[in-house]
Amino acid sequence: MNGKAYAFAVVALHGIVLAQPHTGKEIFQAACVGCHGPDGKGMPQTTIGFAPPSTFPDFTDCGSTTREPNADWKAIIHQGGPVRAFSEIMPSFTEALKPDEIEKVVQYLRTFCRESSWPRGELNFPRALITDKAFPEDETVITTTIHANGFSNDIVYERRFGIRNQVEAAVPVRFERQGTGTWLGGVGDITLGYKRVLSSSLQTGSIFSISGEVTLPTGNRARGLGAGVTIFETFATYGQLLPKDSFLQFQGGVEMPTHLDDAARAVFWRTAVGKRFTQGGGFGRLWSPMVELLADRELVTGEKIDWDVIPQIQITLSKRQHIRFNFGVRFPVNQAGTRPTQAMFYLLWDRFDGGLREGWK
């Protein structure tokens, strides 16, 4: 922290002692308003007397603040900006404020967002390898699947717009080793999708969305890179916060090809259950072990349900927690002779929280 910032922090903390504030608003006015402003939009440099970061957070901007869970705000208040790779100008208040006082400040900061329909970041559960999330995101995810004869990369780009909407595009790239020893690869069938959050409640810890997707026959079917038919898919996703920072996510839907001679209708349902663990007293790296149970069935007489289970663990790589890695193994529960075991992993980038090179130190 530079000298001017430190001096200001000392004055602010001294104000807490003298005024003995009790409510979140009083604590904010005593220790935070000098930088963040009475309206939560940030004070100009001419007022604070030292060079601020590129911009102070605007707590009235619901599109930004609702994405962030209370845990992130508490970490920054406790440990200062560097705990999430933000500016050192934000000092640590861990010795000035008790945990219950920090809780009061966070609850007061939430009052600056006047629109209650934005889904809260607490309902943005860790992403599983297969099961989709109900929360709308600005993410780029590259998922790699490795099996005996090759591997595939699925590149997913998601973009949030408005309060409850998301569009996405998924591009698969496949590589397989042929019986002759040569490799065959290329782009598969591209998928375009739309997601809409129908309901979300922090009080009940639940979020529910519906989605629609269309998979276009862009891959070469003769080379095993596509289905050769347009497929429409609709599904619902549900997320539930459970006790002790555990969570459950569910996805269920139906696939409807335009030509049944080329592909059959199918139904699927997927469930992911996990728990989050945080290092460093709740302020450090996040570990999220999960297990998924997957079921798929083609709507053809005599077809059986394919069951799979995927134990996995997601780890945050960056201090800002916007770069994450997940690794798991997909085991077929039945019909293992025709469906091989697969190793899977992804690299996730939450673009809203910063660039690829930001947020590491």
Q: Which domain holds residue 181?
A: 121-353
Mean pLDDT, residues 59-67 taken together: 95
43-52, 81-90, 154-163: range with lowest mean pLDDT: 43-52
pLDDT at 1 over 90: no
| Domain end residue (candidates: 75, 110, 145) | 110
Residue after which a domain boundary falls, among 110, 139, 166: 110
Determine the Cα–Cα distance for residues 136 and 83; give it in Å rounded to an integer: 26
Cβ 347 vs Cβ 139: under 8 Å:
no
Q: Assess if residue 276 is contained within a domain.
A: yes
If asked whether residues 93 and 235 sit together in one domain, one would say no
Within this chain, do residues 158 and 216 fall inside the same structural domain, yes or no? yes
Same domain, 53 and 175: no
Average pLDDT, the chain: 90
pLDDT at 182 (0 to 100):
84
Q: Which of 110, 129, 146 is the last residue of a domain?
A: 110
Question: Average of pLDDT values for 129-138?
Answer: 97
Q: How confident is the model at residue 6 (pLDDT cuts 50, 70, 90)?
A: very low
> In this predicted model, what pLDDT tens digit does every residue of 188-220 receive, in sequence order?
999 999 999 999 999 999 999 999 999 999 999
pLDDT at 135: 98
Whether residue 361 is contained in a domain is answered as no
The CATH number of whichever domain residue 32 belongs to comes to: 1.10.760
Question: Residue 360 domain-assigned?
Answer: no
Please check the confidence at residue 10 and state whether its pLDDT lies above 70: no
Query: Looking at residues 124-143, what average pLDDT do you find?
Result: 98
Q: Identify whether residues 143 and 206 lie together within a single domain.
A: yes
Report yes or no: 178 and 184 within 8 Å, Cβ to Cβ.
yes
**Percent of residues, the chain, with pLDDT higher than 90:** 74
Amino acid 243: pLDDT:
95
Average pLDDT over residues 245-255: 98
pLDDT of residue 20: 63
Q: Is residue 76, in this structure, part of any structural domain at all?
A: yes
pLDDT greater than 80 at residue 54 = no
The 3-state secondary structure of the chain reads CCHHHHHHHHHHHHHHHHHCCCCHHHHHHHHCHHHHCCCCCCCCHHHHCCCCCCCCCCCCCHHHHCCCCHHHHHHHHHHCHHHHCCCCCCCCCCCCCCHHHHHHHHHHHHCCCCCCCCCCHHHCCCCCCCCCCCCCCCEEEEEEEEECCEEEEEEEEEEEECCCEEEEEEEEEEEEECCCCCEEEEECCCEEEEEEEEEEECCCCEEEEEEEEEECCCCCHHHCCCCCCCEEEEEEEEEEEEHHHEEEEEEEEEEEECCCCCCCCEEEEEEEEEECEECHHHCCCEEEEEEEEEEEEECCCCCCCEEEEEEEEEEECCCCCCEEEEEEEEEECCCCCCCCCEEEEEEEEEHHHCCCCCCCC
Asked if residue 7 has pLDDT above 50, the reply is no
Asked whether residue 323 carries a pLDDT value surpassing 90, the answer given is: yes
190, part of any domain: yes
The 10s digit of each residue's pLDDT in 79-114 is 999 999 998 889 999 988 999 999 999 999 999 999
Structural domains of the chain, count: 2
Say yes or no to pLDDT of 305 above 80. yes
Asked whether residue 183 carries a pLDDT value surpassing 90, the answer given is no
Say if residue 255 is in the same domain as residue 321.
yes
| 116-139 mean pLDDT | 97
- Residues 244, 291, single domain; the answer is yes
Q: Given a cut of 50, is residue 13 above it in pLDDT?
A: no
Same structural domain for residues 260 and 177? yes
pLDDT given for residue 17 in this prediction = 46
**Within-domain flag for 88:** yes
Residue 21 covered by a domain: yes
The pLDDT of residue 19 is above 70? no
The mean pLDDT value for 243-259 works out to 96
* Residue 80 forms part of a structural domain: yes
Global pTM value: 0.90
Q: What is the pLDDT of residue 43?
A: 83
On the question of pLDDT at 18 being above 90, the answer is: no
Same domain assignment for residues 232 and 297: yes
At 49, the pLDDT band (50, 70, 90 cuts) reads low
Query: Same structural domain for residues 84 and 202?
Result: no
Cα 35 to Cα 38, 43, 45, 50, 139: the distances in Å are 9, 5, 9, 10, 31
Q: Note whether 15 and 45 are same-domain residues.
A: yes
